[in-house]
Amino acid sequence: MITLSGIIGSGKSSLTEILAQELGTKAYYEPVKDNPVLPIFYKGNEIAAKKRAAGDKEATNPYAYLLQTFFLNRRFAMIKAAMQEDNNILDRSIYEDEIFMKMNTEMGNATKVEYDIYKSLLSNMMEELPFASHKKSPDLMITIKVSYDTMLKRIEKRGRDYELVERDPSLVEYYQRLLRHYDIWMEEYDSSPLLIIDGDKYDFVGSVADRIAVLEQIEEKLYELNKISKEQLADLKKQHLELLNEVG
């Protein structure tokens, strides 16, 4: 089982799809379109920021805890399902979920009480995870690391209004803080092997050569972890070479 991680707009869903096609595996995607809380969460952030700017130091986003609980429930169900069998890929995991609740608490969008309750719930879920599946953790965690500028370009490209800094200037601080939290998370993550992909350097969506370079990094790591055989690795490299020859 492979899990993807990374900041908003880093390309997790795109790389999940690419990997699933490459390795012939099932992909599990984070729910966005059927998420009724996400749009109102961003609106709540905007309202809370305005209230604090006007002097209300206790103003919070009333939807922050609701959103993180929604995501936590979905991610727990998703990873349980993926862990029931081999050869699955998730475009987001429960292992990075706390980043968002912690950050929202620091920014004043959630209260410490809400954060403590959330952490207790997450801890209970993580204790139950090994009993709900035949794996204790992913075989490989892949993080796509991108800069602030790259993140903004990709957010603009996918065009979700509630994610645009032009529409909500308070998102500038939110996104920059999120990047710093991900840097800390990458240093501290120890639940499984971790592979960091340079999302600024490699345009794995728009460039075939970059896509192959990223795939080969991942497949070399899977071989190192004894998750694919030497023969499988050689066959994949052969396919890559043929594809590069086709596209010139």
Residues within the annotated binding site? 6-14, 30, 42, 68, 92, 97, 154-158, 163
Q: Which of 56, 91, 149, 190 is catalytic?
A: 91
Separation between Cα atoms, residue 115 and residue 189, nearest integer Å: 20
Angle at 96 between CA 132 and CA 164, to 5 degrees: 130
91 is catalytic: yes
Phi, psi of 88 (to 5 degrees): -130, 155
- At residue 169, the 3 state secondary structure works out as coil
Separation between Cα atoms, residue 47 and residue 62, nearest integer Å: 10
- Known binding-site residues for substrate equal 30, 42, 68, 92, 97, 163
- Known binding-site residues for ATP equal 6-14, 154-158
Confirm if 71 and 100 have CB atoms less than 8 A apart: yes
End-to-end CA distance of the chain: 33
Nearest Cα neighbor of 28 from 91, 83, 85 is 91
Q: Which residues are known to be catalytic?
A: 91
